[in-house]
Amino acid sequence: MLPSVDMKKANNSIQAHNELQKAFSLGLIDSRREVPTGIVKSRGIISKKRFDVYRNNVMASLIEALAANYPAVQKLVGDDYFKALASIYIYSQPPSQPVLYEYGESFAQFLASFPGLVDFPYLESVAKLEWSWLSSFHSADDRSFDFSNEENRLGKPIGDCQFRPTKSVRLICCDYDVTGAYIRNTSANINCEIMRLYSSKKDEHYQDLAVGPAYYLFVRPDLSPELYCLDMAGFELFNELVRGKSLNEALVKAASKSTPNGELDAQEFLEKLFSSNTLVLSG
């Protein structure tokens, strides 16, 4: 026969343990907090110096994680300023899970609202690109539509088919065109191409830093994500495909929702889509 259990005592013990864990976690990232009750050395003496060792290690690790996830932002603002920014961000938004490469998703919004960066609004756009690259890099593999091998097996015109973006696709709309600033300062080896549904001579080269809006697409055709600079029509085309429109319907909707800038070049645009691991047949 199993021994009886005092459930009230057990529940109190569990609650006390949970409260200690919470206080310990919060204390690690906020040096203003007292050492949690119960964290003592020999003879029951509280040692702030020993606890500070853990604080310093945790804070340093989280700052390094943010720097690894946002190398271009770090380079643009400088190491010292980035450490200060990261510390404030960590205090306000500590990690909610243990995977460090997934930490910092809201960093772009934090930069946009930080008073000290009011004169550098483009940093939000740089951070958006950095997070999108990281997210695309770690996304699950997905089998894209192979136009050359599968076109004849569709059973209907390709324009009547429905496609969805592969799992590595990330669509981004930014307030600033920061293509050059991002590529020049990131630690990743970025291959960047212009991909416009409406082409014009002035679109042959990407911008370094300019007021937007700017439209981007990341996709991982192989081991590393590649960056495409879209026009508004191309961006809307992807949005319509996500909404379940056929390829032809998406092209018509995209054209109607955007202001054409140049000549319609759907063939080249679609050729790039189908050769870059971007679309999966969905219907």
Instruction: List Cα–Cα distances, 94 to 50, 69, 126, 140, 203, in angstroms.
Output: 22, 15, 22, 26, 41
Cα-trace Rg, the chain:
25
pLDDT for 77 equals: 93
Q: What is the mean pLDDT of residues 65-72?
A: 94
pLDDT for 134 equals: 93
pLDDT for 125 equals: 95
Residue ranges per structural domain of the chain = 15-120, 136-281
pLDDT for 193 equals: 77
Question: Does residue 10 surpass a pLDDT of 70?
Answer: no
pLDDT for 11 equals: 58
Query: Distance (Å, rounded) from C-alpha 59 to C-alpha 275?
Result: 43
Question: Does residue 78 surpass a pLDDT of 90?
Answer: yes
Pairwise pLDDT comparison (3 vs 192), residue with the higher score: 192
Question: Does residue 260 surpass a pLDDT of 80?
Answer: no
Cβ partners under 8 Å of residue 261, min gap 6: 196, 198, 200, 203, 231
Confidence of residue 71 (pLDDT cuts 50, 70, 90): very high
pLDDT for 126 equals: 95
What is the tens place of the pLDDT at every residue in 31-59? 666 666 666 666 666 667 776 667 777 78
